[in-house]
Homo-oligomer: A and B are copies of this chain.
Amino acid sequence: MLRMLAGLPVLGRVWLYSLLVGAYSGLAVWKEHSPLRDRWDQPAQIHEVFGLILGLFLVFWTNRAYERWWEARTLWGQLVNTSRNQAVKLKNLLKLPASDLRQCESILIGFPYALKAHLREGCELKQVPGFADSADNPDHVPIYLVSLLYDRFRKWHQMELITGDELRILDLEATQLLEICGACERIRNTLIANSYRRFIQQLVILHLIALPWGLAQEFGDATVVIVTIAAYFMIGVTVIAHAIEEPFGRDEDDLDLNQLCDKIEGGVREIFARQMPLNSQSS
């Protein structure tokens, strides 16, 4: 249990803010011991109702923030699947020149790295593994890589290395690359509707400002403890929801994009490296 209480870095700031709110609530307690004690008293009840309704809206925000986070995770999981399937088909279903296979391997491995950089600080083609000595400098690297892939497809189709049906099989996966890219951009660029976030934050602040004056009369010195815990709860939910809303950063709750890139690279490399064990088995 102690380990559970130890908390995470992201929750450290929250404790700080909560203690500040707790200190502020000391004002309301002090008032109860001062000549002003009989003024401005309110029943605690109304704060409870307000707190509950606020809780409903915090759950609303939490749900929506979590859905975005999980959708982002699903998109990257889809990228893992797409890369593997595309690699299996290029290697095992088709009969392509070794040099072309190497290029496709570079594109499939480079794409997640390019997407990761694109979603964070922007991507230069030269930074993508396998493209360090490329002469091009495209604005949008993921689109560039997909263009390379389709250019390959056209060449093979023209040279009759692949049939129209095989082209369509390849197209199914290749199309998903830009769909995943666009969906990740959507999540990065559009937070939950601004008014809601601002509005909920306002209400949390108003609630924390008003709460001590409602509790002080009944709860006395315990007010400080209770307000601190309530502040920890409310600020904590707000801060976590805010952090979760942006899943592509480097915070502790963000997706582990580095590991996912490694995973895709490992899978694709293994597929391209394998020397058809089948030939011996099946012939």
| A residues whose Cβ falls under 8 Å from a Cβ of B | 1, 4-5, 7-8, 10-11, 40, 42-46, 48-53, 55-60, 62-64, 66, 69, 73-74, 77-78, 80-81, 84-85, 88-89, 91-95, 100, 103, 134-136, 138-140, 143-144, 146-148, 150-155, 157-158, 163-169, 171-173, 175, 178-179, 181-183, 185-186, 190, 192-196, 198-199, 201-203, 205-206, 210, 215, 218-219, 222, 225-226, 229-230, 233, 236-237, 240, 243-244, 252-253, 255, 266-267, 270-271, 274, 276-278, 280-282
Contact of A88 among B80, B178, B182 (CB under 8 A): B178
17 new A-B contacts at CB < 8 Å, known A46-B219, A66-B196, A94-B154? A4-B201, A11-B195, A42-B219, A48-B48, A49-B51, A56-B59, A73-B186, A88-B150, A89-B150, A93-B171, A103-B282, A147-B271, A147-B274, A151-B282, A193-B240, A195-B253, A199-B240
14 A/B residue pairs, CB under 8 Å, sorted by A: A4-B198, A46-B48, A51-B53, A73-B190, A80-B185, A84-B143, A89-B150, A91-B147, A95-B158, A136-B274, A140-B267, A168-B169, A194-B253, A196-B240
List of B residues within 8 angstroms of A237 by Cβ: 57, 199
Decide if the interface of chain A is mainly helix, strand, loop or mixed: helix
CB distance from A253 to the nearest CB of B (A): 5
List of B residues within 8 angstroms of A152 by Cβ: 278, 282
**In the complex, which residue of chain B has the Cβ closest to the Cβ of A210?**
B229
A143 near B267: Cβ-Cβ < 8 Å:
yes
List of B residues within 8 angstroms of A179 by Cβ: 81, 85
List of B residues within 8 angstroms of A252 by Cβ: 194-195
List of B residues within 8 angstroms of A282 by Cβ: 100, 103, 151-152, 155
B198 near A8: Cβ-Cβ < 8 Å:
yes
CB distance from A79 to the nearest CB of B (A): 9
List of B residues within 8 angstroms of A164 by Cβ: 163-166
B178 near A206: Cβ-Cβ < 8 Å:
no
A77 near B43: Cβ-Cβ < 8 Å:
no
A43 near B185: Cβ-Cβ < 8 Å:
no
A270 near B4: Cβ-Cβ < 8 Å:
no
CB distance from A50 to the nearest CB of B (A): 7
